[in-house]
Amino acid sequence: MRLKTGGLIDRGTALRFRFDGHDYTGFRGDTLASALLANDIRVVGRSFKYHRPRGVFSAGSEEPNALVTIGRGAGAEPNVRATMQELRADLEARPQNCWPSLHWDLLEVNDWASRFIGAGFYYKTFMWPRKFWEWVYEPAIRRAAGLGALSGAHNPDRYEKAYAHCDLLVIGAGPAGLMAALTAAEAGADVILADEDALPGGRLNGERATLDGGAGSDWAAAAVARLRAMPNVRVMARTTVTGVYDQGTFGALERVGHHLDDRPRGLPLECFWRIAAKRAVLAAGAIERPVAFAGNDRPGVMLAGAVRTYLNRYGVAPGRRVAVFGNTDEAHRTAADLVAAGVHVTALIDARPDARSTLSVPFYPGGVVTGAEGRLGLESVRFEAGGRSQGVMADCLAVSGGWNPNVHLTCHLNGRPVWDDGIAAFVPAPGAVPGLIPCGAAAGVFSTAGCLADGARAAAEALGGLGLTAPDLPQPEAEDAPYRIRALWAVPGKRRAWLDLQNDVTVKDVRGAAQENFRSVEHMKRYTTQGMAPDQGKTSNLAALAVLADATGRGIAQTGTTTYRPPYTPVAIAAMGAGAQGKGFAPERRTTSDQASRKRGAPMIEAGLWYRPSYFPKGGERTWRESCDREVGWVRNAVGVTDVSTLGKIDIQGPDAGAFLDFVYTGTFSTLKPGRVRYGIMLREDGHVMDDGTTACLGEGHYLMTTTTAAAGPVMRHLEFVAQVLRPELDVQMVSVTEQWAQFAVAGPGSRDFLNGVLDAPMAEGDFPFMACGEVSVMGVQGRLFRISFSGEHAYEIAVPARYGDALFRALVTRAEGMGGGAYGMEALNVLRLEKGLLTHAEMHGRVTCHDLGLSGLMSSRKDYIGRAAAARPGLVDPERERLVALHPVGIEKRLLPGAHLFAHDAPAVREAAEGYVTSACHSPTLGHPIALGFLKSGPERLGETLRMVDHLRGVETWCVVRPLCSYDPKGERTRG
Amino acid sequence: MRLSCPICGERDRREFHYGGAALERPAPEAGAAAWDAYLHLRENPAGRSRELWYHESGCTAWLVVERDTVTHEIHGVTLAAGGR
Amino acid sequence: MRFSALRILSEGLTGNRGWRPHWRDPEPKSEYDIVIIGGGGHGLSTAYYLAREHGLRNVAVLEKGYLGGGNVGRNTTIVRANYFLPGNSEFYSHSLKLWEGLEQELNYNVMHSQRGLINLFHSDGQRDAFARRGNAMVNQGDDAELLDRDGVRKHLPYLDFDNIRFPVYGGLLHRRGGTARHDAVAWGYARGASDRGVDLIQNCEVTGIDIANGRVTGVQTTRGAIRARKVAIVVAGRSGQVAAMAGMRLPIESHVLQAFVTEGLKPAINHVVSFGMGHFYISQSDKGGLVFGGDLDFYPSYAQRGNLPMAEHVMEAAMTLMPMIGKAKVLRSWGGIMDMTPDGSPIIDKTETEGLFLDCGWCYGGFKAVPGSGYSFAHLIATGRHHAPAAKFRLDRFRTGAGLMDEEGTGAQHNLH
């Protein structure tokens, strides 16, 4: 019911909204929860297990009951706390986990069967017959479980991530946080003040207590305005600090767009912040806890602090006849606020026998509530006081079991909170998070004056660490009542009393768990699912712990605590994964020939982060094979051009560069003369092959190393490791120039003539023999030419600064087309290398040695190099190892498939008989049949042997014969000629 | 997690690459046991640890980091190459 | 006490007063035939199979915290047998067979659900590698199917097939792969072992291992000395520290692996799905939470918690692969401490100390190995001989280089797995 006056809402702006198919009206400044209460909506959802009707329970992010789905269509968002969703125009909310309707829910049968389906019942049944688990039981359980539903469509909304840095992060903008922020801001520190609420101020916005004689909310608003005006302060409202990470890193979720009637295009719904703070003040306040008693989950049973918030901040009375039950002065404060608002208080029940009240309401010191009645909403409350059980009419019961400091963030780095008997709650362990200072209610200080002073104290401590001096700010006058509590967790009784409202965990469940020997907190939690629901047990964990302590005859401190892990409140995957949807997951690297290749219709495929052309289709070709075969033919018979810029290029210089290369390669490079290129294999220190490539000597002490595309990054890291860590005495420097140079292979018998038409000074007879390199001038541009070949043909690679790459590629391709050739892609490149038996990472897959690849000859015996010692281990030189060979098909079925396994001719296709596998295969247009490379036990010793190749997955079985690696021009006459 | 690079200052963990325990590479002829120890066996302390990190997205310096593996506290960072 | 629907009914009708402890809480005796250090999944299953398969009941499991508090209680619950290298292949195959029927054997519903696992691939090269893997799985007698893009679409229509950075080329479907209720596995084995006479001692930290003349003679604990003829170390995450009590240095570096769970949601994901171009794998629990994980944080840690970069990477991978789950909210994150070995494969072996046995190095594959590891380790402890499916999990393979099982091909640097 909306009160006639009062509250911080804007009564001038009425907003229509829809809940469960009906239209209602609220005001700007309402949350969905306060608007629902204002419209006397009592049942807002159903519980997880027993499908009990539930109403709004709190006024904050700890809400266990009021979870709804917001919106429709692709962007519908499940499990939104109605207490955190600000009302906006035409907001649509739907209840969850109920069918066919919120008020008539079929699965309420679970509630009637509750004695059979208590905690952990499912561990004891559903075992027979075996197949029924997947077929019958599990599907039924899965359908019944869960809360809201995802829309099933791709996320349509924009989310963002951002970084922020500051001297001091103040978490929470209640009295303590505001004082801390003011103090630090005045001292000149760079401050971020983050508050979960849309309206900073914390409890000041929910209480009637005054500061300096004025409304607490006015003081808070003025303080926030003052902070907002300071250039060294960022006030981040609607921002929940969700996690604490190492070295002062905090995760925070800002709700940017959920509250806007019309979200401007481009504005994200949420932003996930990574905040690096030199110091932090934790002023996150406290969460009120309920008391467990029979039927304490009825709609209308509500936290006392929430009742005050609805009264004072939203101008809403959660009931017309309200009973109040508590064990501290909070109950009295609540009753007083209700009376002041003109709401009828039917009973004030205080568990403390010595409590006094000056209010003119029925007062029952030493009383406890024993039951709450009313199926779809509270109707009456039973209680015991003075040895007498009595009942009272109430449609709302305000409950307070005391306050729990918000210690969650102090647990994120494994800090364990410590028990404080004085307030019957856990408080942060000192130094739990380096550089984070808890204060105010979060540190167990519960009076407003105490919080203000503690906030200033915490800021001063933080400022000291930053080398700044705290100013002496005047402190406003505020209430300073002592906190007197008589710990009360659960009222004894036979009927079910709820602890975890969301997961339907009762006092009986926890006692039952203890009876079955789940006596450790972790066991109890895992067995009963206590605290595992979306509210993470914010209002219930401690009571469950207390019940367990009682059941096992231990004290609470001795029983322990459950720890809290990030995030503090649930964070959308779309927020923490912002930017990655679609193509944003990884950078896209494009070569200089990318545009020209696409223009020629080449399908571009992913090669690591790069895109490379698969093939260049020509008119009339129906399959990629036709294009590929044609391109192979060009290279074998005329001239082909392909972009090889994606290979890693590392420029290495220094007097000791040669010695350095000798140490990273198995072969010797210090003897390489300027103008010459050599092929090298690089091992990991464990003796297995890391990468291969060529290195050119460009001049005295100046080399250019190439790596495979995939290994460019790891090789660079490895070279720096060797240079800085293993061989710091060597005078050598290196830098990646992969992106500085565009490089194209020009391959084929016509390549020399072809190039002579491109180079400004044609090569003379005898210039650029095989494995030579040098500077050249190409169409007026200074470039480099390498006589190397990955195709087995007479071939070159020509490199120019990347800015000329596009022009050179177009010129080369046009010219090649004039000579009966043209551009070729990755498919042809692969066929060409397979015909020659050359390697890629399909073969160098991380488990192979030089020996396996037939490259033992490249391992120098005259020097130390990375991997030499480990490569000599007996297991790495065993002749029985799987070693690389080529395979040609025999028989009628001529399919060789990468991934197929090899067996002796008559052996069964089982693990025990497996002798190897195919790594790469293609159709060789040059040879006219398929060829493959594969690893085979003792492979090179089995040339000519016929093997069985089996691919179970694709249903292919064939025979193949073992051949030497190189199937084309084995003497290399074409390459060298 | 943040690390202080002696060259670049304090940076986020994502600029760095962890590169293993900081150990002395044995001499080539040190024998199988020494190489086994270098390649495979680890103190793996629950507490202070000496590690190599690479400032990959920064200055490309390899760093020796003294770090606590239980608390993640960082006690010191120096350049692996020394004063170079 | 046998668990059954009938028992639930009769207990429900009589006030649920008859339920008894799932396991006993005995005081430690001064001497046992066998002491198992570590009451996690592997330690409990080892104890169970010692009692069940070998009739050895004078056995104690010493746990420094609570039973099942190690990685069996902090993982992504995936059960599969999709390894391809000899050694791993036969072991995980055996372990999966033990999973199949575990509920009936233990009389405890561990909710092993063979909902199917799909490893996605995103290039021809990855397809070839998965084909090799799948064929090895069939060679071993397990199941595997190679799906093309349309095949994947049939199973996982909600993936982003149109706009994803690394398009889906296909997937390897392992129908017998799935998930289980992780805690229940530990509790089921604990109950089975306890019922067969094994003493499960919680809050009992081993502080020393007693060795005389090259033979193990017992352990020192926070609850006094305990003599034993055989001692088995099964303490994933703390293997190095416990082995050091016996003077050993292990080929292990401890790393943290994070995992995440969302709020409960109505069924959205039926399979276990793994992304091939980033670190992300996901399934939905019976309670409705999406359970997913990624890769190591990549620095040694014993903290059981991670940092933001990997958490964000995992969620970025989720968003590019299946943007349908964007509005699911992460409820909790946690970190498990992984024993990372140089080749990414485990160790089940004797040690140089007579009577001292070692089961460690499960990297991030330990959960699905719980039955197989316990079975094979129990066999080794009881008989002194390696159990055939685990015979290649030798400690000396790194020194000799023979029989390395580097499934990921990343080499001996512990951090690279």
Residue A831: its H or E element: helix A826-836
Does residue B83 have a pLDDT over 70?
no
Quote the pLDDT of residue C415.
53
CATH code of the domain containing A693: 3.30.70.1400
Domain closes at, from A714, A736, A758: A736
Query: Reduced to 3 states, what is the DSSP secondary structure of residue A225?
Result: helix
CATH code of the domain containing B34: 3.30.2270.10
Q: In whole angstroms, what is the distance from residue C225 CA to residue C227 CA?
A: 7
* Same domain as A415, residue A375: no
For residue A866, tell me if it sits in a domain: no
Q: In whole angstroms, what is the distance from residue C9 CA to residue B2 CA?
A: 56
% of chain A at pLDDT higher than 90: 98
Residues on B contacting A at a C-beta cutoff of 8 Å? 1-3, 10, 12-13, 17, 19, 25-26, 28, 30, 32, 35, 39, 52, 54, 56, 60-62, 71-74, 79-82, 84
Q: Do C323 and A953 touch (CB under 8 A)?
A: no
- To the nearest whole angstrom, how far is the Cα of A632 from the nearest Cα of chain C? 19
List the single residue in B12, B14, B69 with the smallest CB-CB distance to C301: B69
- For residue A794, CA distances in Å to A927, A969, C158, C317 come to 19, 12, 50, 44
In this structure, what token pair is assigned to residue C294?
């990624």
φ/ψ region of C275 (left if φ > 0, alpha if ψ in -120 to 50, else beta) reads beta
Q: Do A728 and B82 touch (CB under 8 A)?
A: yes
* Same domain as A447, residue A320: no
% of chain B at pLDDT higher than 70: 98
Neighbours of A966 (CB within 10 A): 16
For residue A220, tell me if it sits in a domain: yes
* Same domain as A200, residue A183: yes
- Interval A496-513 mean pLDDT: 97
User: Which residue in chain B is spatially nearest to A867 when comparing CA positions?
Assistant: B28
Burial class (CB in 10 A: 0-12, 13-18, 19+), A431: exposed
List the single residue in A157, A577, A901 with the smallest CB-CB distance to C136: A901
- To the nearest whole angstrom, how far is the Cα of A142 from the nearest Cα of chain C? 5
In this structure, what token pair is assigned to residue A12?
């001038």
User: Which residue in chain C is spatially nearest to B69 when comparing CA positions?
Assistant: C301
For residue A796, tell me if it sits in a domain: no
Q: CB of C251 within 8 Å of any CB in chain B?
A: yes
For residue B84, tell me if it sits in a domain: no
Q: Which amino acid is at C15?
A: G
Longest dimension (CA), chain A: 117
Q: CB of A419 within 8 Å of any CB in chain B?
A: no
Quote the pLDDT of residue C208.
98
CATH code of the domain containing A540: 1.10.10.1100
Domain closes at, from A694, A718, A736: A736
For A65-119, what is each residue's pLDDT tens digit?
999 999 999 999 999 999 999 999 999 999 999 999 999 999 999 999 999 999 9
For residue A750, tell me if it sits in a domain: no
For residue A873, tell me if it sits in a domain: no
- To the nearest whole angstrom, how far is the Cα of C109 from the nearest Cα of chain A? 4
For residue B59, tell me if it sits in a domain: yes
Helical H runs in A346-503? 448-466
Q: Which residue has the tokens 């001996």?
A: C412
Does residue B84 have a pLDDT over 50?
no
DSSP A31: B
- To the nearest whole angstrom, how far is the Cα of A604 from the nearest Cα of chain C? 12
* Same domain as A132, residue A5: yes
Spatial contact of C106 and C188, defined as CB atoms under 8 Å apart:
yes
- To the nearest whole angstrom, how far is the Cα of B42 from the nearest Cα of chain C? 6
List the single residue in A246, A723, A726 with the smallest CB-CB distance to B72: A246
Phi, psi of A413, rounded to the nearest 5 degrees: -105, 30
Does residue A600 have a pLDDT over 50?
yes
* Same domain as A120, residue A21: yes
- Interval A139-165 mean pLDDT: 96
* Same domain as A660, residue A712: yes
For A837-874, what is each residue's pLDDT tens digit?
999 999 999 999 999 999 999 999 999 999 999 999 99
Quote the pLDDT of residue A561.
82
For residue A349, tell me if it sits in a domain: yes
DSSP per-residue letters across C271-311: SEEE-SSSS-EEEE-TTSEEEEEEEEEEEE--SS---HHHH
* Same domain as A65, residue A191: no
DSSP per-residue letters across B4-55: EETTTEEEEGGG-EEEEE--PPPPTTS-HHHHHHHHT-B---SSEEEEEEE-
* Same domain as A124, residue A203: no
Quote the pLDDT of residue A563.
80
Spatial contact of A401 and A290, defined as CB atoms under 8 Å apart:
yes
- To the nearest whole angstrom, how far is the Cα of C212 from the nearest Cα of chain A? 33
* Same domain as A970, residue A927: yes
Residues of C in contact with A512 (CB under 8 A): 16, 19
Q: Do A717 and B12 touch (CB under 8 A)?
A: no
Phi, psi of A100, rounded to the nearest 5 degrees: -80, -20
Residues of B in contact with C352 (CB under 8 A): none
Quote the pLDDT of residue A396.
98
Phi, psi of A420, rounded to the nearest 5 degrees: -120, 110
For residue B45, tell me if it sits in a domain: yes
Residues of C in contact with B1 (CB under 8 A): 299, 307, 309
Any chains having at least 3 CB pairs less than 8 A from chain C are: A, B
Q: Do A878 and C402 touch (CB under 8 A)?
A: yes
For residue B24, tell me if it sits in a domain: yes
Catalogue the long-range contacts made by A706-709 (C-beta closer than 8 Å, 24 or more residues apart): A706/A647, A706/A648, A706/A649, A706/A650, A707/A647, A707/A648, A707/A649, A707/A650, A708/A647, A708/A648, A708/A840, A708/A841, A708/A844, A709/A607, A709/A608, A709/A610, A709/A646, A709/A647, A709/A648
Q: Do A846 and C319 touch (CB under 8 A)?
A: no
For residue B7, tell me if it sits in a domain: yes
Does residue A223 have a pLDDT over 90?
yes
Q: In whole angstroms, what is the distance from residue A444 CA to residue A463 CA?
A: 22
* Same domain as A17, residue A136: yes
Distance of CA A367 to the CA centre of its chain: 49
Domain count, chain A: 6
Residues of B in contact with C299 (CB under 8 A): 1, 18, 51, 67
Helical H runs in C23-123? 41-54, 88-99, 102-106
Q: Do C69 and A274 touch (CB under 8 A)?
A: no
Q: Which amino acid is at C248?
A: M
Any chains having at least 3 CB pairs less than 8 A from chain A are: B, C
Least confident piece of the model among A532-536, A683-687, A924-928, B21-25: A532-536
3-state SS string for A509-559: HHHHHHHCCCCCHHHHHHHHCCCCCCCCCCCCHHHHHHHHHHHCCCCHHHH
Residues of B in contact with C412 (CB under 8 A): 39-40
Q: Which residue has the tokens 């391109």?
A: A631
Q: Is the dihedral of CA C314, C320, C321, C324 positive or negative?
A: positive
DSSP per-residue letters across A134-181: IIIIHHHHHHHS-SB---SSPP-S-EEEEEEEEEEEEE--SHHHHHHH
DSSP per-residue letters across A906-947: T--SSGGG--EEEEEEEEETTTTEEEEEEEEETGGGGTT-EE
CATH code of the domain containing A147: 3.10.20.440
- To the nearest whole angstrom, how far is the Cα of B81 from the nearest Cα of chain A? 5
Along the 417 residues of chain C, how does pLDDT read in single tens digits?
999 999 999 999 999 999 999 999 999 999 999 999 999 999 999 999 999 999 999 999 999 999 999 899 999 999 999 999 999 999 999 999 999 999 999 999 999 999 999 999 999 999 999 999 999 999 999 999 999 999 999 999 999 999 999 999 999 999 999 999 999 999 999 999 999 999 999 999 999 999 999 999 999 999 999 999 999 999 999 999 999 999 999 999 999 999 999 999 999 999 999 999 989 999 999 999 999 999 999 999 999 999 999 999 999 999 999 999 999 999 999 999 999 999 999 999 999 999 999 999 999 889 999 999 999 999 999 999 999 999 999 999 999 999 999 999 988 776 554
For residue B41, tell me if it sits in a domain: yes
Burial class (CB in 10 A: 0-12, 13-18, 19+), A379: middle
* Same domain as A147, residue A41: yes
- For residue A1, CA distances in Å to A84, A289, A317, A347, A374 come to 19, 24, 5, 20, 19
Does residue A704 have a pLDDT over 70?
yes
For A422-441, what is each residue's pLDDT tens digit?
999 999 999 999 999 999 99
- Interval B59-63 mean pLDDT: 97
Query: Reduced to 3 states, what is the DSSP secondary structure of residue A11?
Result: strand
CA end-to-end distance (rounded Å), chain C = 44
Domain extent at residue A441: 159-286+405-465
Distance of CA A439 to the CA centre of its chain: 30
**CB proximity list for C197: less than 8 A, separation 6 or greater:** C51, C57, C58, C59
DSSP A264: P
Q: In whole angstroms, what is the distance from residue A532 CA to residue A536 CA?
A: 5
Domain count, chain B: 1
Q: CB of A976 within 8 Å of any CB in chain B?
A: no
Does residue A578 have a pLDDT over 90?
yes
Helical H runs in A726-825? 751-756, 805-818
* Same domain as A428, residue A282: yes
Burial class (CB in 10 A: 0-12, 13-18, 19+), A895: middle
Q: Do A720 and B72 touch (CB under 8 A)?
A: no
Q: Which residue has the tokens 């405890």?
A: C108
Beta bridge partners, A249, equal: A245, A276
Domain extent at residue B68: 2-79
Strand A344-350 vs strand A363-365: parallel, antiparallel, or unpaired?
A: parallel
Residues of C in contact with A143 (CB under 8 A): 266-267
- To the nearest whole angstrom, how far is the Cα of C329 from the nearest Cα of chain A? 4
Quote the pLDDT of residue A588.
97
Q: Give the HSE-up count for residue A358: Cα atoms under 13 Å, Cβ half-sphere.
A: 1
